[in-house]
A and B are shown apart, each in its own frame.
Chain A
Amino acid sequence: MTVAEFGLGERLGELRRTFQSGTTRSLAWRKAQLQALLNLVRDNEEQIFQVVHEDLGKHPVEAFRDEVGVILKSLTLNLNCLEKWASPKKSPLPLAFFPATAELLPEPLGVVLIFSCWNFPISLALEPLIGAISAGNAALIKPSEMAPACSSFLARVIPRYLDNKAIKVIEGGPETGAKLLEEKWDKIFFTGSPRVGRIIMSAAAKHLTPVTLELGGKCPVILDTRLSSSELEVAIKRIAWGKWGLCNGQSCVGVDYILVEEKFAPTLIDLLKKSIDQFYGRKAKDFKDLTRIVNRHHFERLHNLIKDPAVSDSIVHGGQVDKERMFIEPTILLDPPLEAEIMTEEIFGPFLPIITLKNIEESIEFVSSRPKPLVLYAFTKDETLKRLVLSRTSSGSVTFNDIAVQFMSDDLPFGGIGQSGLGKYHGKFSFEAFTHEKAVLRRNFIFDLESRYPPWSDFKLNFIRLLYKYDYFGIILLFLGLKG
């Protein structure tokens, strides 16, 4: 019996008992947990920078922005809005139901399972946890084993701050994941690849467990160059940042490839090079602000993408790899073959293919003939192109004229569609992801409509016919015998 198997049943049993006892439903408990999580993050910021650096070589500024800052922001939002979100919402009722009241009562789903990913190993574990706690659930987190320092950090520190009977962390790899999937959960939240997403959903199907799957895809950037030169500079700087400044390309919302008109390609390449220099300095080995590739497996995977001569021939900048430190420098490719893996699979690394088109409107067809991405980025001021993007393409979300910042919005749902995912979260959507909205209708004994009941008659039929049309005047006439 592996260490992972031992105690799983007990741990799950305890989570269930705790949930049944009603502890996690109390608003006071939820707030206390959220506050404790806030303390956890604030007290351990340095440690978080350390473990994230250990697992990914991520610079503390990136780590603060993407792992700590977003969580602090989310916790503050949840603490402020929890009471509002958790309270029943009155529903309007047609007069025909009088007297009655209707409301939607949010209730927790129960015991939830959260799988997080390795590229934002702290925030992708904690953001779903925040939603689960706010919604009043008990939760088990399985952090990714591919970010081991972060995983062990969470396993050590969470029990020190949070209610251990209701919130647990379990470490382990695929076998642990598989064992977890055999159990019955009230919700499963997964961030990762579509391949594993399918496995998770198939396992969930056995127990009719609802799932939220935050997957990936190739996030394209449509670059319409009908912009002023200063606007273009800003645009390209943002694109460069959106590729290499987000975990060095290893981000589900990061830029995957760019679509641009061919005559602009040389300028684009120049401006991208300029940004790379500005951000990271000129020497290939000196990329101290760049995140490294997470592990040997992904390093080899990425390296293989450019081993194909047709692909390596299209490299116009970069391409150097450091096997020892698992470093790949920012690399730009111009028109690699569309059938090559680098253009059919999500890159999740520092390679940036530029695909050229005769005119930018072709980008619509290009994007819509491929699997739906998590985010579609378009840099343009042209209203027609904007409309085409919105109406003729489909994606989890769309951002115009910037990269990734939609992640910062509390009010926008974050999630995919098709291959890029199922369900959404962030802000109040995190709360909703872990909530069942129960419809409650209250009636009393006064005023019982005879016509509801058998034995049926034509009179009753006409009455109900009118009632459904909310034709109250007709009903009066019916009763007065003036309608038949």
Chain B
Amino acid sequence: MEDEMKKMERFDSDSAASLLKELRGTFASGKTKSYEWRVQQLKNMIKMIDDNERAIMEALQQDLAKPRFESFVSEISLTKAACNHALKELKHWMKPEKAKTAITTFPSSAEIVSEPFGIVLIISAWNYPFLLSLDPVVGAIAAGNSVVLKPSEISPATSSLLAKLLEDYLDSSAVRVVEGAVAETTALLEQKWDKILYTGNGKVGRIVMAAAAKHLTPVILELGGKSPVVVDSNVNLKVSARRIAAGKWGCNNGQACIAPDYIITTKAYAPTLIDGLKNILEEFFGKDPLESKDLSRIVNSNHFSRLAKLLDEDKVSGKIVHGGQRDETRLMIAPTILLDVPEDSLIMNEEIFGPLLPIITVDKVEDSFDIIKSRSKPLAAYLFTSSKKLEKEFVENISAGGMLINDTVVHLTNPSLPFGGVGESGIGSYHGKFSFDAFSHKKAVLYRSLYGDAPVRYPPYTPGKLRILRAILDGSIIGAILALIGFGKKKLE
């Protein structure tokens, strides 16, 4: 009975305020700043994952019908890799960075010290509910912060599993999970956080940033966009088709922020590319993809209807060249390819986030650049080509969070590359050391000694002092000496 009552207790503004008060007390105690505490939490997280692999995969299966392999590869392994990477590098990351000092402040020494922001709020998404919750938490803990995680309510099994596991394995005086939907998130956002990381869409991203603005809280927004794939005709078709297909349909069946959204290729090459994709799709998912165990389902009926609407739009429905099958009861949509949908169709004007792949054709492959540039900056942009020239033009002229040549998606698994967007696709980045940096305040520290002081610093101001100052700021030691002796440009009277 008591448990029931507890569950029904609303998490409102008061709850949020008292949660923060408690965490501030923990943070003020200095506990989370110690290297030992951070290491212990990270080790506990690895143990948590190892002990509960099956439960995690089951929750992901429940929320998304995610194939075991995908759960392992893209959620569990990446999270563990993040923990291991942080454990290995943490000592090094925590060391202050020596900074050069200038002649103007001689004698002095300077360094940049990384300190935790304080209490961090992480709001995660439903499509990689495990990874996108814990990856930022790893960074926040590594940087010495106290953390509140708000997992997405659209992946409820994972959300409640995370709430239970984090309570069991991590230090709940500093790390907490708050489950819930809009009301709970709003209550959280009213509070003053020291940093917020949000993963999701642009609409809510704006709400998060506006709430943060009231408290001048810095934010990281990992958003999305339409990640384009430009395909040249001089590519290895088999490998390209495989990589595009894996990136599109092998990642949560298109429900990933960096999944290829649409393809641009030449009119001449399109038929070849489509054939290549069709063959690969059969290899991956068999003749009847809706029956394949290796395809994720659509997360819920809202999104299913949304995607169905994109397909059913008049000017679009006739453009399907492959797939299109759906099963509403099981929330399954088969990998679907469309050719030459109009630029003003719905499917070309919102992030698809599903298994529909429009192919837009152009006369020459270079024409694809204007199409991409006329849209908002995506989280990722992909190019398949063997032309170094095209590659160079693409990299130099297209702006995106990240770019990948001749492959899709995998750049996010590399811990030495920052992962984040630009413009509509986001603000800030994380992964690897960038996670540690994202959750650290880089405090400049200058040490000066109290010996000797040049009178030139102080009023009353004289022309002589100006000469010396001028020389010092010019970085010229000789000039400074000369000025001190009395030579130099006569300027001010």
Contacts and interface: CB of A to CB of B under 8 A. Distances in A.
Given A208-B427, A289-B460, A418-B194, A411 B414 contact: no
A213 interface: yes
A208 B105 contact: no
Contact of A419 (B216, B391, B422): B216
A79 to B, nearest CB: 13
Contacts of B418: 104, 437, 439
A283 interface: no
A358 to B, nearest CB: 21
B221 A208 contact: yes
A53 B96 CA distance: 41
A280 B243 CA distance: 73
Interface stretch (B171-179, B305-313, B445-453): B445-453
Interface stretch (A143-151, A166-174, A335-343, A458-466): A458-466
B226 interface: no
A201 B473 CA distance: 34
A438 B469 contact: no
Interface string B173-216: 00000000000000000000010000000100110011011101
A159 interface: no
B465 interface: yes
A469 B41 CA distance: 20
B459 A464 contact: no
A235 B399 contact: no
B486 interface: no
B441 A454 contact: no
Contacts of B236: 445
Nearest to A199: B213
B411 A280 contact: no
A443 B414 CA distance: 13
Interface in B438-493: 441-453, 457-462, 465-466, 469-470, 473-475, 492
Nearest to B491: A45
Interface stretch (B3-11, B110-118, B161-169, B350-358): B110-118
A197 interface: yes
B67 A201 contact: no
A35 B426 CA distance: 34
B448 A399 contact: yes
Interface string B32-50: 0100000000000000000
Q: Interface of chain B, helix or strand or loop or mixed?
A: mixed
Nearest to B207: A205
Contacts of A85: none
B110 A412 contact: yes
Contacts of A278: 458-459
Contacts of B117: 417
B239 interface: yes
Given A194-B216, A455-B286, A455-B292, A93 B414 contact: yes
Interface in A48-75: 59-62, 64-65, 69-70, 72-73
A215 B216 contact: yes
A160 interface: no
B80 interface: yes
Interface residues of A, number: 105
Contacts of B460: 279-281, 289
Contact of B423 (A104, A186, A392, A408): A186
A330 B73 CA distance: 66
A11 interface: no
Contacts of A2: none
Given A204-B209, A391-B33, A409-B102, A440 B403 contact: yes
16 contacts: A59-B459, A64-B470, A65-B473, A70-B473, A197-B216, A205-B210, A227-B450, A280-B460, A397-B444, A402-B446, A406-B444, A409-B102, A439-B417, A441-B404, A453-B242, A461-B68
Given A61-B492, A70-B473, A412-B110, 8 more contacts: A59-B459, A60-B466, A61-B466, A64-B466, A278-B458, A413-B112, A439-B418, A455-B283
Interface of A: 20, 22, 59-62, 64-65, 69-70, 72-73, 76, 91-94, 97, 100, 102, 104-105, 107, 109-110, 186, 194, 197-198, 201-202, 204-206, 208, 210, 213, 215, 227, 231, 234-235, 237-238, 241, 245, 278-281, 289-290, 368, 379, 381, 390-392, 394-402, 405-406, 408-414, 417-419, 421-424, 436-445, 448, 452-457, 460-461, 464-465, 468
Interface of B: 28, 30, 33, 67-70, 72-73, 77-78, 80-81, 99-102, 104-105, 108, 110, 112-113, 115, 117-118, 194, 202, 205-206, 209-210, 212-214, 216, 218, 221, 223, 235-236, 239-240, 242-243, 245-246, 249-250, 283-286, 292, 294, 373, 386, 391, 395, 397, 399-407, 410-411, 414, 416-419, 422-424, 426-429, 441-453, 457-462, 465-466, 469-470, 473-475, 492
